[in-house]
Structure 1
Amino acid sequence: MQAIQSTFDDLGTPLAEVTFVVVDLESTGGSPAQCGITEIGAVKVRGGEVLGEFQTLVNPAEPIPAFISVLTGITDAMVADAPRIDSALPAFLEFASGSVLVAHNAGFDISFLKAAASRTGTPWPGFDVLDTLQLARQLVVRDEAPNHKLGSLAVLFGARTTPDHRALHDARATVDVLHGLIERVGNLGVHTLEELASYSSRVTPAQRRKRFLADPLPHAPGVYLFKDGTGRVLYVGTSRDIRARVRTYFTASEQRSRMAEMVRLAHVVHPVVCQTALEAQVRELRLIDEHRPRFNRRSKDGHRVMWVKLTRERFPRLSIVRQVKDDGAHYIGPFRSRVTAQAAVDAVHEVVPLRQCTQRLSGHESACALADMGRCGAPCTGAQSEGDYASVAADCAEIFAGNARPGAELLRARLEELASQERFEDAARVRDRFLHLVRGAARAQRLAPLVRTREVVAARAQDGGGWELVTIRHGRFAGTALSPRGADPMVHVRTLQATAEEVAPPAPGLPAALTEETEILLRWLESPGVRIVELDGSWTCPVGGAGSVRHELEPAVASAHEAVGFDHDVPTERPRRHGLRRAG
C-alpha cells in the first residue's frame, strides 16, 4: 500500500514546534483559596532545547508553617523581601505567554495560579495545559517505576536534576520527564500537539496507522460510514467536518472501547456530504436504520416502539401494542420501551378507575381485589353499568385525545391523598409514572398534526446571509436547499418543492418516516429563527394538551430534594474535563 504524505495543516502542530513552559510552585499549604504561593519556577523549552528559565520567591503575606519550611527549605526570612504575588504573577504570565503550560499534577499548580490571578484582578490567559502525571499513568507501568511521583519518574528517565521541592529544580526535572514521555508517544505514532492532546493508551498503534483512511475525505458537513473489507457498514456517524471528525478515531482518546475493534476491522470510510446539519442528522438516522451497524448503539430499533391503546369494546381497557391501526381506538406514544409504556399504563390506573383484567366481560365474573380497594367499579360483576363505565373510559380518552388538564387535576388529588397519609415515596412513584404518561401523550399530540400535513416549507437565516430551506411532507424530510445571500429565496423554494421527494400519505396514526426523524424535524421547526414559508395542512397542538402538563411535571421529577410537587428547579452539574485542556 502506498503511503500518503499529509500536509502539516492536516496533521496539526508538530511537537518539535510547540513552546512548552514547564512550571512548578511551592505554597504554604494545599488549598488555593486559603494558602499563598511561596515560589514559582519555570523552564521554557521548544524542540528539546531550553529557551529560558524563570524563578522567584514570593512573599505570601502570611507565616509559612513549620512543616512546610522543613519540606521545601523556604523560611519566612527567605521571603521577607521577596515580591508579593501581585507583581510576581504578571512577570510569570509574560514569561509563559503563547506557550503550553506543563506541570506534574497540573491541577494543583494551575489552581493556585488561577486563584492568585482572581485575587489580584489579573486577567488569566486561556493556556492549554498538559499534565505529565496523567500522561505517565498511561505510558509508565509498575514494572518500570514503583509509582508516578515526580521523583520516581525522574530516576526512570535519567533527569539531570533531582527534584527536591524547590520550584525551579522540580521544573527542570519535569522537563526531562516531559521529553521522555514525548519520546514514548512518538514511537506510538503521536507527533503533533493535537494528537498528544487526545492521546490515550487505549488507542493502539494499529489504529493510528489507519489515519490514511481519512486523507481522501472532504472538509464538509455530512455523514460518514466505516466499512469493512466486504463492504459491510460497521459504523455511521455525522459531523460538521467529516475529515476532521474521522481523524479523531485514529488519534483521539476514544472513551468507547468498542471503537478500537471497529477501527481494526475498517477498510474504507465513505462520506455522504450534506448541505445542512439537519440533513446530516436525518441521513445518519436513516442509514443506521437501513444497515443496522454493529458498532452503533442508538437508533437501531427505530421501528420497535410501543404504543398504549384504549381498546374499542363494551368495557374499554388499556393495552400495550406495537402498531397503530385505523380502528377508531385511542392511542398515545410512541414509547421507546415496554417499561416506559407500562409506566404510562400504571399512571392511568392511578387516576382513572379503568378495569385491568384482560378477558371479555359478561357481567357475571367474580370481583378482583381492585374492586375491594375502590380502584375499579367492578363491571365484571354487573356492579357498574356500561353507561357508568363509559364515563370513566371518557376521562381516559380525554387525556389521550389532547386535554390533559382533567388528568392533571386527578393526579393532584391523588398526590394530596398520599401525602396526607405520609406516603411520600408512593406519591413520588405515582408522579413519575404520570410523567411517562404525559410524555407519551404529548409526543402523540405533537407528531400527529405534522404527519397529517401534506407539506411544510420552512426557512432559517444562515449566519453568513441567505436561507436554509427545508421541505417536510407527512412528517418526513423531503428535501433541502440553500438560498444564497442576495438571491430571491422564493425561486429556490419553488425549485425545492418541484424536486423534493414525493411522500404518500401514511396509514392513519403512523408517520411516513421513523418517529425519531419526525421528532428531529419538529425540534428544528420549533427552534429559534425558523419561519414557515408555506403550509399545506393544519399544524396545531392543543393549548391544554399533555405538553403543558409535561413542562410542569419534568422539573419536579428531576428534583432530588422533593417527594411531591409540580414546580421545582432542575439541578445542573458542569462536566469535568481531563487531559490537555483550556485553563481559562
Structure 2
Amino acid sequence: MASSLLETAPGGRLSLDDRTRTASGHGRPVQLGLDEVGTPLHEVTFVVVDLETTGGSPTDAEITEVGAVKVRGGEVLGEFQTLVNPGTAIPPTVTVLTGITNAMVVAAPRISEVLPSFLEFAGLAGADPGAPGTVVVAHNAGFDIGFLRQATERMDLVWPRPQVLDTVAMARRLVTRDEAPNHRLGTLAQLFHAKVTPDHRALTDARATVDVLHGLLARAAPLGVTHLEDLRTATDPVPPRRRRKSAMADGLPGGPGVYQFLGPGREVLYVGTASNLRRRVRQYFTAGEKRRRIGEMLDIAVGVRPVPCATVLEAQVRELRLIAELDPPYNRRSRRPERRPWLRLTDEPFPRLSVVRRVGSAEMAEVLGPFGSRRAAMSALEALQEVAPVRRCTSRLPQAPRAGASACALAEMNRCGAPCVGGQTVELYRGAVRPVREALRAQVDGAAARLHEKIAELARQQRYEEAAIQRDRLAALLQGARRAERLRPLVATPEILAARRKESGGWEFVLARFGRLAGTAVSRAGEDPMPVVGALRAGGEVVRAPEAACGAAPVEETELIASWLEQPGVRLVAVEEGPVPLACPVRGAARHRVPTAG
C-alpha cells in the first residue's frame, strides 16, 4: 500500500503551516506505490471496432456488419462479428466494395438485436456516461461511432460515451509522408506489418486496426503517451518536448492538494489546486491545455512541488493564500483584494449612497458587497437611485438648509425631495429612503419588483437599450445583495465546526473562525471521530475578531467556506454564536434570479 507523503498529527489533523514546510523539502521522502502513477496502457482494455454500412451518413444509411476485437496488453481477449440486416437494399457499389450482398443479410439479425450484444461484449452495457473504462478504437472513428450512437438513440438507449481513440488522427501525428503516402488503413497495415490485410470486411479490418494501434502506441511512448490519462489528447498537436515533461506528474499523490510549477531557479511560476494532484498536473501536458501563457510557463518549468492537503477545501484555501503570498508570474489575481468596493449610505442627517473601499465590522448589517469592481458597485448604486428618491449631490447637508441654497434639476423632475432647500425634513427623508435601507439589508423584494416593472415598461415602448441598462443594474444589485447576505453570518461567527461524511467512510471536518479557515481534519472509517474534533478545535488557528468587514480572510476564502457548508450532507458539530444568526433568510436576496442578457 502506498504511503502518504506527509506525517500526520494524532487524530489525522495536520496544521496548514506544518504541511507547507514538509512539502517544501523538509519532510521525510517516501516512495510512492505503483498505483499512484496512473493506469499504464498495458493494463487498459481496448475494443477495436469496424462497421460496414450501406452508405456514408448515419442518418441516411444502415449498418450491414459489425466486427470488433478486444485486446489488453497485446493479448486478444475476444472477438465479435455478425452481419446485420439493414432493412433496406444494399447499393451495388457497396456490394462491389465489401462483398456483402442482399442475400447474405436477409436472415441476419437487425441492429436492435446486435447492438445490446456488442455493448455487452465491449463492456459498455450499463456503463455510466463519461465514466472511465473501455477505450473504443476505430480507424476514422467519427464514422463508426456516429453510426453506433445513432443506432443507440433510435433504440431509446443512453449512449455510454466511452473514451474513443481514432487511429487516423493518431497516425497523422506520428506517421510522416516520407513513410506512407496516406493514412488509409491498408497503407498503415502494410507499414506496421499487420498480420492480416484489410479487405473491407468488419472483422478483418478490426484485426488489422489492432496491429496498427500497437504500432502507433509504440511510437507514442517516447513522447510521454504511456498511461490511460495520456490517451485523451494523444491525437492532438502537443509539442514533443512538452509531452515528455508529463513525467513530472508521475511521482505526485492522487489526493487533494496544491501544486507549484517551479522554474530553473526553483522559483514558483504558477500555483494551482486539484482534487487529484497527479491527474490534474498530467492534464497540463495534453492538448486540452490551450492557454498561451500557461504553455509558455510549461516550457520553462523544470519541476512540480506538491502540497498535499487533508481536504479539497483546504487545498482551495491554501491556493488563494499562496498566490497572495508568492504572487507567481503566471497566476492572474486581483492585486488588492482587500480594496474591493462596497455600497452603503453615508452617516449624516440626509444620507446618500456611496461606494467605499473599507467597511467596519459593525457596519456590515447595512452594506452591499463587496463587488468585483467599482463599475459593478456603481451599477447597483444606480439601481437603488431608480427605486427611491435618494439625493445624488455629494455635499454634506445640515439639518437646516443653508442660506442661499438652490435645488438641482432632479428636484424639478420629482426625482429628489430637495432637502437642501428644506423640501424634506429628516423624518420625511428617512421614510423616502427606506427602500434603500431595506435593500442594503439584502431585503430586495421591493427594489427588484420596481426595477422589473421599469424594465417591462421600457420593453413595451421598444426602448430595448434602456431596458438592457436597467436589467444590468438589477443584476448588479442582486449579486451584491446575495453576496452580503451570504457572508454576513460567517464573518460575524466566532467559530463554526462542521462535518461531512466521506464517500470512502469516516468524516471530513472544517473549522472556520470569523470567515477564515482555521483548520481541517479527517477521521478514518470505523473510528470515534470526537478525538479528532477535540484536536482540531484545540490546535486550530487562533483568529481575532476583525475590525473591518471580511477582515479576517479574503472574501474568496470566506465564499469557499460558504460553498462547502452549503453542500448536501454537511452537519454543524459546534457553533459559537455571533451577532448575526447563522442562517439564510427564506425571503432573502438568494430567492431572486439574477437576470442575464438575452
TM-score tier after normalising by the smaller chain length: 0.7 to 0.9
Amino acid corresponding to residue 353 of structure 1 in structure 2: P
Distance 2:501 2:78 in 1: 51
How far 1:186 sits from its partner (Å)? 2.9
| Partner SS, residue 375 of structure 1 | coil
How far 1:47 sits from its partner (Å)? 6.4
8 Å Cα contact 2:442/2:588 also seen in 1: no
1:345 aligns with 2:353: no
Distance 1:309 1:301 in 2: 20
> How many residues are treated as equivalent by the alignment?
553
Change (3 A) 1:8 1:492: closer
How far 1:58 sits from its partner (Å)? 1.9
8 Å Cα contact 2:249/2:282 also seen in 1: yes
Q: What are the within-5 Å matches in structure 2 for residues 196-275 of structure 1? A: 196-199=231-234, 201-250=236-285, 253-275=288-310
Structure 1 match to 2:551: 511
Structure 1 match to 2:341: 306
Distance 1:40 1:467 in 2: 49
Q: After superposition, what is the alpha-carbon deviation per residue over 1:95-136, rounded to whole angstroms, capped at 9, x for unaligned?
A: 656964211332331242344456669997785421224434
1:392 aligns with 2:418: no
How far 1:504 sits from its partner (Å)? 1.2
Change (3 A) 1:186 1:512: same
8 Å Cα contact 1:304/1:336 also seen in 2: no
Amino-acid identity (%): 53
Q: What are the within-5 Å matches in structure 2 for residues 396-475 of structure 1? A: 396-423=436-463, 426-475=466-515
Q: What are the within-5 Å matches in structure 2 for residues 138-153 of structure 1? A: 138-139=173-174
Structure 2 match to 1:284: 319
Amino acid corresponding to residue 319 of structure 1 in structure 2: S
| Partner SS, residue 40 of structure 1 | strand
8 Å Cα contact 2:224/2:245 also seen in 1: no
Distance 2:526 2:396 in 1: 67
Normalising by structure 1, report the TM-score: 0.79
Distance 2:444 2:121 in 1: 65
1:364 aligns with 2:364: no
Moved more, 482-491 or 138-147: 138-147
How far 1:514 sits from its partner (Å)? 0.7
1:499 aligns with 2:539: yes
Distance 1:375 1:172 in 2: 81
Distance 2:553 2:70 in 1: 59
Unmatched runs of 5 consecutive residues or more in structure 1: 561-584
Change (3 A) 1:313 1:158: farther
Distance 2:550 2:115 in 1: 65
8 Å Cα contact 1:306/1:320 also seen in 2: yes
8 Å Cα contact 1:435/1:550 also seen in 2: no
Distance 2:283 2:230 in 1: 9
How far 1:155 sits from its partner (Å)? 8.7
8 Å Cα contact 2:229/2:279 also seen in 1: no
Structure 2 match to 1:189: 224
8 Å Cα contact 1:475/1:512 also seen in 2: yes
Q: After superposition, what is the alpha-carbon deviation per residue over 1:386-433, rounded to whole angstroms, capped at 9, x for unaligned?
A: 554333333212210243233233334434543553545544542342
Structure 1 match to 2:7: none
Q: After superposition, what is the alpha-carbon deviation per residue over 1:459-491, rounded to whole angstroms, capped at 9, x for unaligned?
A: 333345443333221111112333445555444
| Partner SS, residue 284 of structure 2 | helix
Change (3 A) 1:208 1:35: closer
Amino acid corresponding to residue 62 of structure 1 in structure 2: T
Change (3 A) 1:133 1:149: same
Change (3 A) 1:180 1:414: same
1:331 aligns with 2:367: yes
Change (3 A) 1:23 1:493: closer
8 Å Cα contact 2:442/2:589 also seen in 1: no
Moved more, 149-158 or 486-495: 149-158
1:354 aligns with 2:380: no
Q: After superposition, what is the alpha-carbon deviation per residue over 1:276-315, rounded to whole angstroms, capped at 9, x for unaligned?
A: 2222221122112211222223566533422123222344
Change (3 A) 1:103 1:410: same
Q: What are the within-5 Å matches in structure 2 for residues 517-556 of structure 1? A: 517-538=557-578, 539-540=580-581, 548-554=588-594
Distance 1:340 1:56 in 2: 63
How far 1:16 sits from its partner (Å)? 5.3
Distance 1:331 1:478 in 2: 26
Unmatched runs of 5 consecutive residues or more in structure 2: 1-29, 125-133
8 Å Cα contact 2:50/2:206 also seen in 1: yes
Change (3 A) 1:218 1:41: closer
Distance 1:35 1:135 in 2: 27
8 Å Cα contact 1:312/1:328 also seen in 2: no
Q: What are the within-5 Å matches in structure 2 for residues 2-13 of structure 1? A: 9-13=35-39
Q: After superposition, what is the alpha-carbon deviation per residue over 1:125-160, rounded to whole angstroms, capped at 9, x for unaligned?
A: 785421224434545678988986767877987989
| Partner SS, residue 567 of structure 2 | coil
Amino acid corresponding to residue 392 of structure 1 in structure 2: A
Q: After superposition, what is the alpha-carbon deviation per residue over 1:194-252, rounded to whole angstroms, capped at 9, x for unaligned?
A: 32334265543333444454455444432222222334221222233334433443467
How far 1:6 sits from its partner (Å)? 8.9
8 Å Cα contact 2:36/2:254 also seen in 1: no
Q: After superposition, what is the alpha-carbon deviation per residue over 1:49-78, rounded to whole angstroms, capped at 9, x for unaligned?
A: 888765543211223456756776655344
Structure 2 match to 1:568: none
Amino acid corresponding to residue 80 of structure 1 in structure 2: V
8 Å Cα contact 2:222/2:244 also seen in 1: no
Change (3 A) 1:542 1:242: closer
Distance 1:382 1:418 in 2: 33
8 Å Cα contact 2:515/2:550 also seen in 1: no
Normalising by structure 2, report the TM-score: 0.77
Change (3 A) 1:128 1:471: closer
Change (3 A) 1:113 1:316: same
Change (3 A) 1:382 1:30: farther
Amino acid corresponding to residue 309 of structure 1 in structure 2: R
Structure 1 match to 2:332: 297
| Partner SS, residue 557 of structure 2 | helix
| Partner SS, residue 25 of structure 1 | strand
Distance 2:31 2:581 in 1: 56
